[in-house]
Structure 1
Protein backbone atom coordinates (compact mmCIF):
# COMPACT_ATOMS: atom_id res chain seq x y z
CA UNK A 1 0.00 0.00 0.00
CA UNK A 2 1.12 3.52 -0.75
CA UNK A 3 1.58 5.65 2.39
CA UNK A 4 -1.04 8.27 3.22
CA UNK A 5 0.40 11.66 2.26
CA UNK A 6 -0.33 14.11 5.10
CA UNK A 7 -0.03 17.89 5.31
CA UNK A 8 0.25 19.40 8.82
CA UNK A 9 -0.98 22.95 9.46
CA UNK A 10 -0.19 24.00 13.02
CA UNK A 11 1.19 27.34 14.20
CA UNK A 12 2.92 26.17 17.38
CA UNK A 13 6.38 24.81 16.63
CA UNK A 14 6.57 22.28 19.47
CA UNK A 15 3.07 20.97 18.75
CA UNK A 16 3.94 20.63 15.08
CA UNK A 17 7.16 18.77 15.89
CA UNK A 18 5.28 16.43 18.24
CA UNK A 19 2.72 15.68 15.53
CA UNK A 20 5.49 15.05 13.01
CA UNK A 21 7.22 12.67 15.40
CA UNK A 22 4.07 10.68 16.16
CA UNK A 23 2.83 10.43 12.58
CA UNK A 24 6.14 9.84 10.80
CA UNK A 25 6.77 6.85 13.07
CA UNK A 26 3.83 5.11 11.40
CA UNK A 27 4.90 3.19 8.31
CA UNK A 28 1.71 4.00 6.38
CA UNK A 29 1.89 7.78 6.88
CA UNK A 30 4.19 10.18 5.05
CA UNK A 31 4.44 13.83 6.10
CA UNK A 32 4.71 15.73 2.82
CA UNK A 33 4.55 19.28 4.20
CA UNK A 34 4.19 21.48 7.26
CA UNK A 35 2.79 25.00 7.52
CA UNK A 36 2.63 27.43 10.43
CA UNK A 37 -0.23 29.64 9.21
CA UNK A 38 -3.37 29.47 7.10
CA UNK A 39 -1.99 31.21 4.02
CA UNK A 40 1.06 28.96 3.82
CA UNK A 41 -1.17 25.97 4.47
CA UNK A 42 -3.44 26.83 1.55
CA UNK A 43 -0.48 27.36 -0.78
CA UNK A 44 1.04 24.04 0.27
CA UNK A 45 -2.24 22.23 -0.23
CA UNK A 46 -2.47 23.57 -3.77
CA UNK A 47 1.06 22.49 -4.65
CA UNK A 48 1.24 19.18 -2.78
CA UNK A 49 -2.34 17.89 -3.07
CA UNK A 50 -2.04 15.71 0.05
CA UNK A 51 -4.30 12.76 0.78
CA UNK A 52 -5.21 14.17 4.20
CA UNK A 53 -4.65 17.53 5.90
CA UNK A 54 -4.46 17.83 9.69
CA UNK A 55 -5.08 21.38 10.83
CA UNK A 56 -5.61 23.48 13.92
CA UNK A 57 -8.49 25.95 14.06
CA UNK A 58 -6.51 28.74 15.67
CA UNK A 59 -4.14 29.83 12.91
CA UNK A 60 -2.58 33.18 11.93
CA UNK A 61 -3.56 34.98 8.70
CA UNK A 62 -6.39 32.58 7.79
CA UNK A 63 -8.30 30.88 10.59
CA UNK A 64 -8.76 27.13 10.53
CA UNK A 65 -12.49 27.61 9.93
CA UNK A 66 -11.91 29.81 6.89
CA UNK A 67 -9.11 27.57 5.66
CA UNK A 68 -11.46 24.57 5.60
CA UNK A 69 -13.86 26.59 3.44
CA UNK A 70 -11.13 27.75 1.05
CA UNK A 71 -9.72 24.25 0.61
CA UNK A 72 -13.15 22.69 0.07
CA UNK A 73 -14.11 25.38 -2.44
CA UNK A 74 -11.15 24.44 -4.63
CA UNK A 75 -10.90 20.74 -3.79
CA UNK A 76 -14.29 19.24 -3.02
CA UNK A 77 -12.84 15.82 -2.23
CA UNK A 78 -10.33 17.19 0.32
CA UNK A 79 -9.99 15.02 3.41
CA UNK A 80 -9.68 17.28 6.45
CA UNK A 81 -8.95 16.31 10.06
CA UNK A 82 -9.28 19.02 12.71
CA UNK A 83 -7.00 18.79 15.76
CA UNK A 84 -7.80 21.65 18.12
CA UNK A 85 -7.88 22.85 21.71
CA UNK A 86 -11.42 24.06 21.07
CA UNK A 87 -14.02 21.60 22.35
CA UNK A 88 -17.21 23.70 22.36
CA UNK A 89 -20.23 22.40 20.49
CA UNK A 90 -20.27 25.46 18.20
CA UNK A 91 -16.62 24.92 17.25
CA UNK A 92 -17.27 21.32 16.30
CA UNK A 93 -20.48 22.18 14.47
CA UNK A 94 -18.85 25.01 12.50
CA UNK A 95 -15.90 22.84 11.50
CA UNK A 96 -18.10 19.94 10.42
CA UNK A 97 -20.50 22.24 8.59
CA UNK A 98 -17.58 23.69 6.62
CA UNK A 99 -16.32 20.28 5.58
CA UNK A 100 -14.14 18.69 8.28
CA UNK A 101 -14.43 14.89 8.24
CA UNK A 102 -12.89 14.32 11.68
CA UNK A 103 -12.61 16.39 14.84
CA UNK A 104 -10.18 15.63 17.67
CA UNK A 105 -9.00 17.68 20.61
CA UNK A 106 -5.30 17.94 21.35
CA UNK A 107 -5.51 15.56 24.29
CA UNK A 108 -6.28 12.74 21.84
CA UNK A 109 -3.77 9.90 21.73
CA UNK A 110 -1.44 9.34 18.81
CA UNK A 111 -3.28 6.10 18.05
CA UNK A 112 -6.61 7.92 17.84
CA UNK A 113 -5.17 10.55 15.50
CA UNK A 114 -3.77 7.84 13.23
CA UNK A 115 -7.15 6.06 13.26
CA UNK A 116 -8.82 9.33 12.28
CA UNK A 117 -6.38 9.92 9.41
CA UNK A 118 -6.83 6.37 8.11
CA UNK A 119 -10.63 6.59 8.34
CA UNK A 120 -10.79 9.96 6.59
CA UNK A 121 -8.45 8.71 3.89
CA UNK A 122 -10.96 5.93 3.19
CA UNK A 123 -13.70 8.54 2.84
CA UNK A 124 -15.21 7.90 6.28
CA UNK A 125 -15.97 10.39 9.02
CA UNK A 126 -14.32 10.05 12.42
CA UNK A 127 -15.79 11.62 15.54
CA UNK A 128 -14.95 10.40 19.06
CA UNK A 129 -17.70 10.25 21.67
CA UNK A 130 -16.74 13.70 22.98
CA UNK A 131 -17.44 15.32 19.62
CA UNK A 132 -20.67 13.39 19.14
CA UNK A 133 -21.86 14.37 22.63
CA UNK A 134 -21.07 18.04 21.99
CA UNK A 135 -22.95 17.99 18.69
CA UNK A 136 -25.93 16.36 20.40
CA UNK A 137 -25.94 19.17 22.99
CA UNK A 138 -26.04 21.86 20.36
CA UNK A 139 -29.30 23.72 19.80
CA UNK A 140 -29.69 23.95 16.00
CA UNK A 141 -31.99 26.95 16.26
CA UNK A 142 -29.24 29.11 17.75
CA UNK A 143 -27.99 31.30 14.91
CA UNK A 144 -26.44 34.63 15.82
CA UNK A 145 -26.07 37.50 13.38
CA UNK A 146 -22.57 38.97 12.90
CA UNK A 147 -23.60 42.02 14.96
CA UNK A 148 -25.00 39.85 17.75
CA UNK A 149 -21.71 37.95 17.82
CA UNK A 150 -19.81 41.23 18.19
CA UNK A 151 -22.10 42.32 21.01
CA UNK A 152 -21.72 38.94 22.72
CA UNK A 153 -17.94 39.22 22.48
CA UNK A 154 -18.11 42.59 24.24
CA UNK A 155 -20.40 41.15 26.91
CA UNK A 156 -17.93 38.35 27.66
CA UNK A 157 -15.27 41.03 28.18
CA UNK A 158 -17.46 42.76 30.77
CA UNK A 159 -18.43 45.82 28.71
CA UNK A 160 -21.44 47.90 29.70
CA UNK A 161 -24.06 48.84 27.10
CA UNK A 162 -22.48 52.27 26.75
CA UNK A 163 -19.01 50.77 26.26
CA UNK A 164 -20.37 48.34 23.67
CA UNK A 165 -22.02 51.23 21.83
CA UNK A 166 -18.72 53.13 21.75
CA UNK A 167 -16.75 50.04 20.70
CA UNK A 168 -19.07 49.18 17.82
CA UNK A 169 -20.07 52.69 16.85
CA UNK A 170 -23.80 52.15 17.32
CA UNK A 171 -26.49 53.70 19.51
CA UNK A 172 -26.87 52.48 23.08
CA UNK A 173 -30.54 51.83 22.38
CA UNK A 174 -29.51 49.52 19.54
CA UNK A 175 -27.15 47.69 21.91
CA UNK A 176 -30.02 47.07 24.34
CA UNK A 177 -32.06 45.56 21.51
CA UNK A 178 -29.19 43.24 20.55
CA UNK A 179 -28.60 42.22 24.16
CA UNK A 180 -32.26 41.43 24.64
CA UNK A 181 -32.27 39.36 21.45
CA UNK A 182 -29.14 37.51 22.53
CA UNK A 183 -30.49 36.60 25.95
CA UNK A 184 -33.71 35.40 24.37
CA UNK A 185 -31.94 33.25 21.76
CA UNK A 186 -29.55 31.76 24.30
CA UNK A 187 -32.20 31.19 26.95
CA UNK A 188 -30.01 33.08 29.40
CA UNK A 189 -31.35 34.95 32.43
CA UNK A 190 -28.67 37.62 32.45
CA UNK A 191 -25.33 38.68 30.98
CA UNK A 192 -23.33 36.45 33.34
CA UNK A 193 -25.21 33.34 32.28
CA UNK A 194 -24.87 34.39 28.64
CA UNK A 195 -21.09 34.72 29.12
CA UNK A 196 -20.79 31.26 30.68
CA UNK A 197 -22.97 29.78 27.95
CA UNK A 198 -20.95 31.46 25.18
CA UNK A 199 -17.61 30.23 26.53
CA UNK A 200 -18.81 26.69 27.21
CA UNK A 201 -20.33 26.35 23.77
CA UNK A 202 -17.38 27.92 21.98
CA UNK A 203 -19.43 30.81 20.62
CA UNK A 204 -16.72 33.20 21.83
CA UNK A 205 -13.09 32.61 22.76
CA UNK A 206 -11.20 34.84 25.16
CA UNK A 207 -7.70 35.46 23.82
Structure 2
Protein backbone atom coordinates (compact mmCIF):
# COMPACT_ATOMS: atom_id res chain seq x y z
CA UNK A 1 0.00 0.00 0.00
CA UNK A 2 1.35 3.41 -1.00
CA UNK A 3 1.77 5.62 2.04
CA UNK A 4 0.82 9.29 2.22
CA UNK A 5 4.08 11.20 2.64
CA UNK A 6 3.74 14.10 5.08
CA UNK A 7 6.04 17.02 5.93
CA UNK A 8 5.44 18.95 9.16
CA UNK A 9 6.39 22.65 9.34
CA UNK A 10 6.07 24.36 12.73
CA UNK A 11 8.47 26.55 14.70
CA UNK A 12 7.77 24.68 17.95
CA UNK A 13 9.72 21.43 18.32
CA UNK A 14 7.12 19.94 20.66
CA UNK A 15 4.43 20.41 18.00
CA UNK A 16 6.58 18.92 15.24
CA UNK A 17 7.56 15.84 17.23
CA UNK A 18 4.09 15.43 18.70
CA UNK A 19 2.42 15.45 15.30
CA UNK A 20 5.06 13.11 13.90
CA UNK A 21 4.43 10.63 16.70
CA UNK A 22 0.67 10.73 16.09
CA UNK A 23 0.94 10.35 12.32
CA UNK A 24 3.58 7.64 12.34
CA UNK A 25 1.18 5.34 14.19
CA UNK A 26 -1.03 5.30 11.08
CA UNK A 27 -0.22 2.47 8.67
CA UNK A 28 -0.95 4.58 5.58
CA UNK A 29 0.94 7.75 6.60
CA UNK A 30 4.69 8.37 6.70
CA UNK A 31 6.35 11.55 8.04
CA UNK A 32 9.18 12.30 5.61
CA UNK A 33 10.45 15.58 7.05
CA UNK A 34 10.27 18.26 9.73
CA UNK A 35 10.86 22.00 9.29
CA UNK A 36 11.00 24.87 11.78
CA UNK A 37 10.32 27.75 9.35
CA UNK A 38 8.95 28.47 5.91
CA UNK A 39 12.26 28.34 4.07
CA UNK A 40 13.10 24.96 5.60
CA UNK A 41 9.63 23.76 4.66
CA UNK A 42 10.13 24.65 1.00
CA UNK A 43 13.67 23.24 0.85
CA UNK A 44 12.72 20.00 2.61
CA UNK A 45 9.63 19.59 0.45
CA UNK A 46 11.66 20.00 -2.75
CA UNK A 47 13.90 17.16 -1.59
CA UNK A 48 11.30 14.83 -0.03
CA UNK A 49 8.38 15.47 -2.44
CA UNK A 50 5.65 14.99 0.20
CA UNK A 51 2.01 14.46 -0.69
CA UNK A 52 0.89 16.78 2.12
CA UNK A 53 2.62 19.59 4.01
CA UNK A 54 1.17 20.51 7.41
CA UNK A 55 1.94 24.22 7.57
CA UNK A 56 1.93 26.46 10.63
CA UNK A 57 1.11 30.10 9.84
CA UNK A 58 3.33 32.01 12.26
CA UNK A 59 6.93 30.97 11.70
CA UNK A 60 10.20 32.91 11.59
CA UNK A 61 12.27 33.66 8.46
CA UNK A 62 9.32 32.91 6.14
CA UNK A 63 5.73 32.56 7.36
CA UNK A 64 3.34 29.79 6.40
CA UNK A 65 1.35 31.85 3.90
CA UNK A 66 4.44 32.77 1.88
CA UNK A 67 5.78 29.22 2.10
CA UNK A 68 2.43 27.94 0.83
CA UNK A 69 2.63 30.25 -2.19
CA UNK A 70 6.15 29.05 -3.02
CA UNK A 71 5.24 25.40 -2.58
CA UNK A 72 2.23 25.68 -4.85
CA UNK A 73 4.45 27.23 -7.52
CA UNK A 74 7.30 24.73 -7.22
CA UNK A 75 5.40 21.56 -6.25
CA UNK A 76 1.86 21.90 -7.60
CA UNK A 77 1.02 18.27 -6.79
CA UNK A 78 1.86 18.73 -3.10
CA UNK A 79 -1.14 19.69 -0.96
CA UNK A 80 -0.87 22.15 1.92
CA UNK A 81 -2.88 21.81 5.13
CA UNK A 82 -2.75 24.95 7.25
CA UNK A 83 -2.45 24.32 10.99
CA UNK A 84 -3.26 27.42 12.99
CA UNK A 85 -4.03 28.96 16.35
CA UNK A 86 -6.95 31.32 16.92
CA UNK A 87 -6.34 34.95 15.97
CA UNK A 88 -4.52 34.23 12.69
CA UNK A 89 -7.42 34.81 10.30
CA UNK A 90 -5.47 36.96 7.87
CA UNK A 91 -2.59 34.54 7.53
CA UNK A 92 -4.99 31.63 7.07
CA UNK A 93 -6.96 33.52 4.42
CA UNK A 94 -3.78 34.42 2.55
CA UNK A 95 -2.58 30.80 2.66
CA UNK A 96 -5.93 29.59 1.32
CA UNK A 97 -5.80 32.22 -1.42
CA UNK A 98 -2.28 31.01 -2.23
CA UNK A 99 -3.57 27.49 -2.81
CA UNK A 100 -3.74 25.67 0.52
CA UNK A 101 -6.13 22.71 0.28
CA UNK A 102 -7.35 22.96 3.85
CA UNK A 103 -7.14 24.60 7.24
CA UNK A 104 -7.52 23.17 10.72
CA UNK A 105 -6.87 24.48 14.23
CA UNK A 106 -4.23 23.14 16.60
CA UNK A 107 -7.02 22.16 18.99
CA UNK A 108 -8.40 19.57 16.54
CA UNK A 109 -8.65 15.96 17.65
CA UNK A 110 -6.02 13.53 16.35
CA UNK A 111 -8.65 11.57 14.44
CA UNK A 112 -9.88 14.69 12.65
CA UNK A 113 -6.34 15.63 11.60
CA UNK A 114 -5.67 12.16 10.20
CA UNK A 115 -8.98 12.14 8.32
CA UNK A 116 -8.28 15.57 6.82
CA UNK A 117 -4.80 14.52 5.68
CA UNK A 118 -6.27 11.52 3.87
CA UNK A 119 -8.98 13.70 2.39
CA UNK A 120 -6.75 16.39 0.90
CA UNK A 121 -4.12 13.85 -0.19
CA UNK A 122 -6.79 12.38 -2.44
CA UNK A 123 -7.69 15.78 -3.87
CA UNK A 124 -10.28 17.01 -1.39
CA UNK A 125 -10.65 20.35 0.39
CA UNK A 126 -11.33 20.97 4.06
CA UNK A 127 -11.85 24.00 6.30
CA UNK A 128 -12.80 23.26 9.89
CA UNK A 129 -15.83 24.92 11.46
CA UNK A 130 -13.53 26.77 13.88
CA UNK A 131 -11.63 28.28 10.94
CA UNK A 132 -14.84 29.24 9.12
CA UNK A 133 -16.02 31.03 12.25
CA UNK A 134 -12.64 32.74 12.65
CA UNK A 135 -12.75 34.06 9.08
CA UNK A 136 -16.37 35.16 9.40
CA UNK A 137 -15.66 37.19 12.54
CA UNK A 138 -12.85 39.24 11.01
CA UNK A 139 -13.40 43.04 10.63
CA UNK A 140 -15.58 44.33 7.73
CA UNK A 141 -14.13 45.57 4.43
CA UNK A 142 -12.84 49.15 4.86
CA UNK A 143 -13.39 51.94 2.32
CA UNK A 144 -10.17 53.10 0.67
CA UNK A 145 -9.53 56.12 -1.52
CA UNK A 146 -8.32 55.62 -5.12
CA UNK A 147 -4.83 56.73 -4.07
CA UNK A 148 -4.79 54.28 -1.16
CA UNK A 149 -5.81 51.47 -3.51
CA UNK A 150 -2.96 52.50 -5.80
CA UNK A 151 -0.38 52.53 -3.00
CA UNK A 152 -1.69 49.26 -1.60
CA UNK A 153 -1.20 47.61 -5.00
CA UNK A 154 2.44 48.70 -5.04
CA UNK A 155 2.87 47.47 -1.45
CA UNK A 156 1.80 43.98 -2.54
CA UNK A 157 4.68 44.03 -5.02
CA UNK A 158 7.11 44.71 -2.19
CA UNK A 159 7.95 48.28 -3.18
CA UNK A 160 9.34 50.67 -0.56
CA UNK A 161 7.86 54.08 0.23
CA UNK A 162 10.69 55.72 -1.72
CA UNK A 163 10.01 53.56 -4.78
CA UNK A 164 6.27 54.19 -4.60
CA UNK A 165 6.83 57.94 -4.25
CA UNK A 166 9.05 57.94 -7.35
CA UNK A 167 6.51 56.03 -9.45
CA UNK A 168 3.59 58.24 -8.38
CA UNK A 169 5.66 61.45 -8.49
CA UNK A 170 4.73 62.38 -4.93
CA UNK A 171 6.75 63.00 -1.76
CA UNK A 172 7.91 60.08 0.36
CA UNK A 173 6.26 61.71 3.39
CA UNK A 174 2.94 61.66 1.54
CA UNK A 175 3.32 57.95 0.83
CA UNK A 176 4.13 57.33 4.50
CA UNK A 177 0.95 59.16 5.53
CA UNK A 178 -1.12 57.00 3.18
CA UNK A 179 0.56 53.83 4.43
CA UNK A 180 -0.14 54.76 8.06
CA UNK A 181 -3.79 55.41 7.19
CA UNK A 182 -3.95 52.06 5.40
CA UNK A 183 -2.58 50.26 8.46
CA UNK A 184 -5.20 51.95 10.63
CA UNK A 185 -8.09 51.18 8.27
CA UNK A 186 -7.03 47.56 7.89
CA UNK A 187 -6.32 47.09 11.61
CA UNK A 188 -2.82 45.97 10.63
CA UNK A 189 0.35 46.32 12.70
CA UNK A 190 2.76 46.28 9.74
CA UNK A 191 2.93 46.32 5.93
CA UNK A 192 3.00 42.53 5.56
CA UNK A 193 -0.13 42.14 7.65
CA UNK A 194 -1.82 44.95 5.71
CA UNK A 195 -1.14 43.20 2.41
CA UNK A 196 -2.43 39.89 3.80
CA UNK A 197 -5.65 41.53 5.00
CA UNK A 198 -6.11 43.38 1.70
CA UNK A 199 -5.73 40.17 -0.30
CA UNK A 200 -8.15 38.29 1.95
CA UNK A 201 -10.74 41.04 1.61
CA UNK A 202 -10.06 41.24 -2.15
CA UNK A 203 -9.22 44.93 -1.99
CA UNK A 204 -6.56 44.46 -4.66
TM-score by length of 1: 0.69
Distance 1:78 1:181 in 2: 35
Q: From the superposition, tell whether residues 179 and 148 of structure 1 become closer, same or farther in structure 2 (CA, over 3 Å).
A: farther
Structure 1 residues 131-184: Cα deviation after superposition (integer angstroms, max 9, x where no partner):
1223334546678938999xxxxxxxxxxxxxxxxxxxx63x76555555555x
Q: CA deviation at 1:17?
A: 1.0
Q: What residue in structure 1 maps to residue 22 of structure 2?
A: 22
Q: From the superposition, tell whether residues 27 and 33 of structure 1 become closer, same or farther in structure 2 (CA, over 3 Å).
A: same
Q: What residue in structure 2 maps to residue 72 of structure 1?
A: 72
Report the secondary structure of 1:61's partner residue: coil
Count how many residue pairs are aligned between Structure 1 and Structure 2.
Answer: 171
Report the secondary structure of 2:90's partner residue: helix
Report the secondary structure of 1:53's partner residue: strand
Are 1:9 and 1:55, in contact at CA under 8 Å, matched by a contact in 2?
yes
Q: What residue in structure 1 maps to residue 126 of structure 2?
A: 126
Structure 1 residues 104-156: Cα deviation after superposition (integer angstroms, max 9, x where no partner):
1211111111111011111111111111223334546678938999xxxxxxx
Q: CA deviation at 1:85?
A: 1.9
Aligned 1:75-154 pairs, distance under 5 A: 75-138=75-138, 139=140, 145=152
TM-score by length of 2: 0.70
Report the secondary structure of 1:73's partner residue: helix
RMSD: 3.1
Q: Which runs of 5+ in 2 are unaligned?
A: 144-148, 157-171, 198-204
Q: Which runs of 5+ in 1 are unaligned?
A: 150-169, 187-193
Q: What residue in structure 2 maps to residue 166 of structure 1?
A: none
Q: CA deviation at 1:61?
A: 2.1
Q: CA deviation at 1:84?
A: 1.9
Q: CA deviation at 1:34?
A: 1.2
Are 2:105 and 2:130, in contact at CA under 8 Å, matched by a contact in 1?
no
